[in-house]
């Protein structure tokens, strides 16, 4: 069997690239694998040679020690690759297909999957609905920041690119289909973005930038992005966004300077549970800040899309309630304004085919918007460090040098 290197979480602030097991058509015991999943047969799976696998802010939460992720966990849930082997029950996906892997693992058979709610599949995680590769409390499916990865229910999960040569030419863009582009788009759809909307996106990390690009794709008139990081705000301005530096104070005042009113039609939370305060409190972690802020600045009758990650267990939280995912929300404000809230993982398969077509036919340049930057797999620790330091980039790992060759 070929060597398989993977990016492994070894404790807070530490990741290593080391030899990991080659994928098998049976789920083996290992770090984070749910005991009820050990020995699970996978004749419906495919083995993927990884072409691109991205570092995500959700991975960064684990690497910072802000979850209960076990040491030894192979990271990575944003996978794009070439099928090199299929199990005996795979009927339609073929060896040689170039594919995008939704970060949600779903069976295609349960009640939720049949309702297009693939983010909360009932059959892949014994603990609760919903699963993902290389992520804490998600069933223990091995992560994809590796040379090779296994995808269960391949006929259902995999999105095949129609033309391999065309796909390789646009691979940095297509690599965003596994997570952040659909996730940002879902945040905007959930918030009700439509032609002529004014939109506020909290967070100028890759998901926030993807949400901003999605808002334009959906026809928004004005897209305003708020963050503390000046380089990331500059990246947002590079493709037409207005920006708000929340270190200077509450975003409402700056929004009013842009729009003439201190509110927007639609708002997206692309920050999540490691949010910091605004203005003088910007150096302090205040996990409810963004949610409370969005309730204040969204017009009555509007909606909030909340793709930013919130967790049930945060051992690094600064207060006891937040350690269990309990936040001090101004729910009365949201209720009084009749605001709608949509939370949870993005159901990637609901959007990825349409977004693939938008990429292939030059309707969006998502890699440019998020400043996608490819690096070799062995540079993953450096990529994690620079991302944690606030780099205005989306790091894409290139295990086999295929992105470099295509470029």
Kindly list the structural domains of the chain, giving each domain's residue range(s) and its CATH number in brackets, ordered by start: 5-178+347-406 (3.90.180.10), 180-342 (3.40.50.720)
Measured distance CA(227)–CA(236) in Å, rounded: 10
Cβ–Cβ under 8 Å, residues 274 and 57 = no
335 burial (CB, 10 Å; 0-12 / 13-18 / 19+) is exposed
Q: How far is CA 1 from CA 136, 148, 157, 274, in A?
A: 28, 11, 25, 41
Per-residue pLDDT, 27: 95
Helix ranges, 94-170 (H)? 111-114, 154-157, 164-169
Considering the chain, what percentage of its residues have pLDDT values greater than 90?
90
CB 133 within 8 A of CB 145: no
Q: What pLDDT, on the 0 to 100 scale, is given for residue 312? A: 84
- At residue 98, φ and ψ (nearest 5 deg) are -95, 125
311 pLDDT more than 90: no
pLDDT category at 19 given cuts 50, 70, 90 is very high
What is the DSSP code (8-state) at residue 277?
-
Q: Does the pLDDT value for residue 388 go beyond 80?
A: yes
Which regions of 228-318 does DSSP assign to beta strands (E)? 242-245, 264-269, 298-305
Q: Check: CB of residue 178 under 8 Å from CB of residue 245.
A: no
**Angle 223-394-74 from CA coordinates, rounded to 5°:** 130
> Is 359 in a helix, a strand, or coil?
helix
Mean pLDDT, to the nearest integer, of 126-150?
A: 96
Per residue in 44-60, pLDDT tens? 999 999 999 999 999 99
37 token code pair? 């999943």
Residue with more model confidence, 2 or 4: 4
Q: Which residues contact 82 (CB under 8 A, 6 or more apart)?
A: 48, 49, 51, 96, 97, 98, 99
Its sign, for the CA torsion 304, 308, 311, 314, is negative
What are the tens digits of pLDDT across the range 330-347? 999 999 999 999 999 999
d(CA 208, CA 191) in angstroms, rounded, equals: 13
In this predicted model, what pLDDT tens digit does every residue of 163-220 receive, in sequence order?
A: 999 999 999 999 999 999 999 999 999 999 999 999 999 999 999 999 999 999 999 9
Dihedrals phi, psi of 251, to nearest 5 degrees: -65, -25
Arithmetic mean of pLDDT, 21-25 = 96
Q: How far apart are CA 179 and CA 359, in angstroms?
A: 15
Beta bridge partners of 85: 47
Q: Are strands 340-342 and 298-305 parallel, antiparallel or unpaired?
A: parallel
Contact 23, 47 (CB under 8 A): yes
Cα angle 128-134-136, degrees, rounded to a multiple of 5: 45
pLDDT digits (tens, 9 = 90+) for 221-244: 999 999 999 999 999 999 999 999
Q: In the block, which residue shows the tokens 């506020």? A: 200
Six token digits for residue 269: 């939370």
Q: Would you state the pLDDT for residue 332?
A: 95
Token pair 């060759």 is at which residue?
Answer: 405
**Looking at residue 35, what is its pLDDT?**
94
Q: pLDDT (tens digit, 9 = 90+) per residue, 240-294?
A: 999 999 999 989 999 999 999 999 999 999 999 888 889 888 888 888 999 999 9
3-class SS at 28?
coil
Q: What is the pLDDT of residue 321?
A: 84
CA distance 234 to 163: 34
Strands of 5-9's sheet, edge to edge? 15-19, 5-9, 73-74
Per DSSP, what are the bridge partners of residue 98? 82
pTM for the complete prediction?
A: 0.96
C-alpha dist (Å) from residue 77 to 59, 80, 341, 394? 8, 10, 25, 14
Phi, psi of 227 (to 5 degrees): -165, 170
Percent of the chain past pLDDT 70, that is, above it, reads 100
Specify the pLDDT at position 313: 81
pLDDT at 318: 80
C-alpha to C-alpha distance for 73 and 76, rounded to whole angstroms = 10
Residues in contact with 308: Cβ distance below 8 Å, sequence separation at least 6, in sequence order: 202, 203, 207, 269, 270, 271, 272, 273, 275, 290
Tell me how far apart the alpha carbons of residues 102 and 277 are, in angstroms, rounded to a whole number.
33
The overall average pLDDT reported for the chain is 96
Tell me how far apart the alpha carbons of residues 394 and 373 are, in angstroms, rounded to a whole number: 6
The whole-number pLDDT of residue 206 equals: 97
């Amino acid at each position: 069997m070929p060597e398989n290197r993977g990016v492994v979480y070894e404790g807070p602030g530490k990741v290593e690239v080391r030899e990991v097991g080659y994928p098998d058509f049976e789920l083996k015991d290992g770090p984070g694998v749910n005991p009820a999943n050990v020995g699970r047969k996978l004749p419906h799976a495919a083995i993927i040679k990884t072409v691109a696998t991205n570092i995500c802010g959700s991975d960064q939460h684990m690497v910072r020690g802000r979850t209960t992720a076990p040491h030894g966990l192979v990271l990575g849930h944003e996978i794009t690759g070439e099928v090199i082997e299929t199990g005996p029950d795979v009927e339609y996906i073929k060896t040689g297909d170039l594919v995008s892997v939704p970060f949600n693992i779903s069976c295609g058979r349960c009640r939720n999957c049949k309702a297009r709610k693939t983010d909360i599949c009932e059959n892949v995680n014994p603990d609760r609905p919903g699963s993902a590769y290389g992520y804490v409390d998600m069933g223990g499916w091995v992560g994809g920041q590796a040379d090779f990865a296994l995808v269960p229910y391949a006929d259902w999960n995999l999105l095949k690119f129609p033309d391999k040569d065309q796909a390789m030419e646009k691979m940095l863009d297509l690599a965003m289909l596994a997570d952040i582009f659909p996730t940002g788009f879902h945040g905007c759809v959930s918030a009700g973005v439509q032609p002529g909307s004014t939109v506020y996106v909290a967070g100028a990390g890759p998901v926030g930038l993807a949400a901003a690009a999605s808002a334009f794709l959906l026809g928004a008139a004005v897209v305003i992005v708020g963050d503390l990081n000046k380089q990331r705000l500059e990246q947002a301005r590079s493709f037409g966004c207005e920006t708000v530096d929340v270190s200077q104070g509450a975003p409402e005042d700056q929004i009013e300077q842009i729009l003439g009113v201190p509110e927007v039609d639609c708002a997206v939370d692309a920050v999540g549970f490691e949010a910091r305060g605004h203005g003088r409190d910007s150096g302090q972690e205040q996990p409810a800040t963004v949610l409370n802020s969005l309730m204040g600045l969204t017009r009555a009758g509007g909606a909030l899309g909340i793709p930013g990650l919130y967790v049930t267990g945060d051992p690094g939280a600064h207060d006891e309630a937040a350690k269990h995912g309990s936040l001090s929300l101004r729910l009365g404000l949201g209720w009084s304004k009749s605001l709608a809230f949509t939370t949870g993982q993005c159901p990637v398969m609901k959007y990825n085919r349409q977004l693939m077509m938008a990429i292939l036919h030059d309707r969006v340049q998502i890699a440019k918007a998020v400043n996608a930057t490819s690096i070799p797999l062995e540079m993953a620790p450096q990529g994690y460090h620079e991302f944690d330091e606030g780099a205005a980039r989306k790091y894409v790992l290139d295990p086999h040098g295929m992105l470099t060759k295509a470029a």
